Amino acid sequence: MKLWGGRFKTEESKLMEDFNSSLKFDKVMYFEDIQGSIAHVKMLYKSNILTKDESDTLIKGLNEILQEIEFGKLKIQGDYEDIHSFVEINLVKKVGDVGKKLHTARSRNDQVAVDMRMYTKRNALEIVDSIQHLQDVIKDKADKNNYIMPGYTHLQRAQIVTFKYHLMAYYNMFERDKKRMLNSLSLMNESPLGCCALAGTTYDIDREYTCDLLDFDKPIDNYLDGVSDRDYIIEIISNMSIAMMHLSRLSEEIILFSSKEFEFIKISDAYSTGSSIMPQKKNPDAAELIRGKTGRVYGSLMSILTTMKGLPLAYNKDMQEDKEVFFDSIKTTLSCLNVMSNMIDTVTVNKENMMKAVKHGFLNATEVADYLVNHGMAFRDSHKVVGEIVLYCEEKSIAIEDMSIDEFKKFSDLFDESIYEFIDYDNILKKGIKKEIAE
């Protein structure tokens, strides 16, 4: 089941064969491998390297293999070195000796490079779609829950925001993730097919033609670079790592905000699990798993960066190690995006508890200071005065707006009745640049 062997005297050991084989994981690229081969055959015919009959037979055979794989008639398994060997050997079995002409003017080095680029484009676009779906869900949940909540710094209550505004911060993060992915795709959209092993071929092939057929922008300039560039894989895993970091931060807040300590939101039963011992427990496992799997995607990024760092030009077998981490990262990121969308969609929001937290958190203290500034006091002085007010309220267990006007005046005679309206939570969000938060 090999594409080589002429120069060898003894058989490859079984141990080495298993160690070397990538079929178990590169079989996911069967579609791209067959499409790449069909484009290559069309080009060989156009360049007068194959006859019309030969090209028709090969294309028909390749399409049949594709159908048989998709309908489960042909299982991708056995002692093949990789998906490329699998397709080629099965083609020869099917169409006979003409199948042996498929690999004219091609190496597995440019073949695997073009397959991986096609696979990357298809999957990165699926990730973009999944991010877009998550954004739609976030926007919808945000619009329906435009309630005041505490905003935090240092995880201490800081100033008021709205649940909608808070959630929309994630919408913006995911917007960047989407753009990053599309940017990377436009950078890598060049075809390595025709670079051959490392130094091109003596055949007069037409790289522009395969490039067009496979929907790339242009053929890669340098052959050595074409067969050994894995930057785009590093870049896409890096993009996925950043998106996972955003998913993980969101997960962390879902875990926190759904705890009894906060109770701002409730995760639906459908995305929670129970405890085998504590009957009362409802655990946020979905969010915890997303947070956990983030580490796994980061690990893949470190793995591929390290694999590539010392490689001389051009192809080295080390590069086969790009696949498992890449495929796993794509699968992991897609499933996390999907679970997150469903979890957010089914979350319920507790307006009252968020308001309680706002009242207990002195979240209008900055505005009290602003009020004094508006009435002539320097901000640094008003900051001190309001600090003293907070201390007083804390000792009495009241909110600032619960103080009487006489109590206010004890701290500064600049206060009058208008303070109550000025520090009313709804009114705060109507002032100045904050208007954007209330929208």
What positions carry a catalytic annotation?
154, 275
Asked if 427 interacts with ligand ARG (CB under 6 A), we say: no
x-or-dash string of contact with ligand ARG, 337-376, rule CB under 6 A: ----------------------------------------
| C-beta of 28 vs 169, nearer to ligand ARG | 28
- What is the Cα 158 distance to its own chain's centre? 31
Asked if 108 interacts with ligand ARG (CB under 6 A), we say: yes
Judging by DSSP bridges, how do beta strands 348-349 and 265-266 pair with one another? antiparallel
Task: Return the range that interacts with ligand ARG (CB under 6 A); candidates 90-98, 182-190, 318-326, 387-395.
Answer: 318-326
Asked if 98 interacts with ligand ARG (CB under 6 A), we say: no
* Dist. CA 381–CA 162, nearest whole Å: 29
Q: Which of 30, 80, 315, 362 binds ligand ARG (CB under 6 A)?
A: 315
Which of positions 22-51 make contact with ligand ARG (CB under 6 A)? 22, 26
Question: Among 348, 303, 430, 324, which Cα is nearest to 28's?
Answer: 324
Question: Among 305, 292, 297, which Cα is nearest to 328's?
Answer: 297
| C-beta of 91 vs 400, nearer to ligand ARG | 91
- The total of other beta-carbon atoms located within 10 Å of residue 78's CB is 12
Residues 6+ apart with CB under 8 A from 344: 134, 137, 138, 141
Asked if 109 interacts with ligand ARG (CB under 6 A), we say: yes
Residues 6+ apart with CB under 8 A from 349: 141, 145, 147, 163, 264, 265
CA dihedral 142, 145, 147, 153 (to 10 degrees): -40
Q: Which of 91, 112, 354, 369 binds ligand ARG (CB under 6 A)?
A: 112
Least Å distance between CB 304 and ligand ARG? 13
Asked if 119 interacts with ligand ARG (CB under 6 A), we say: no
Least Å distance between CB 188 and ligand ARG? 17
Please state whether the peptide bond connecting residue 314 to the residue before it is cis, i.e. omega within 30 degrees of 0.
yes
Q: Which of 69, 254, 319, 369 binds ligand ARG (CB under 6 A)?
A: 319
| Cα angle for residues 28, 29, 34 (degrees, 5° grid) | 135
Number of residues that bind ligand ARG (CB under 6 A): 11
Residues near ligand ARG (CB under 6 A) are 22, 26, 82, 108-109, 112, 315, 317, 319-320, 323
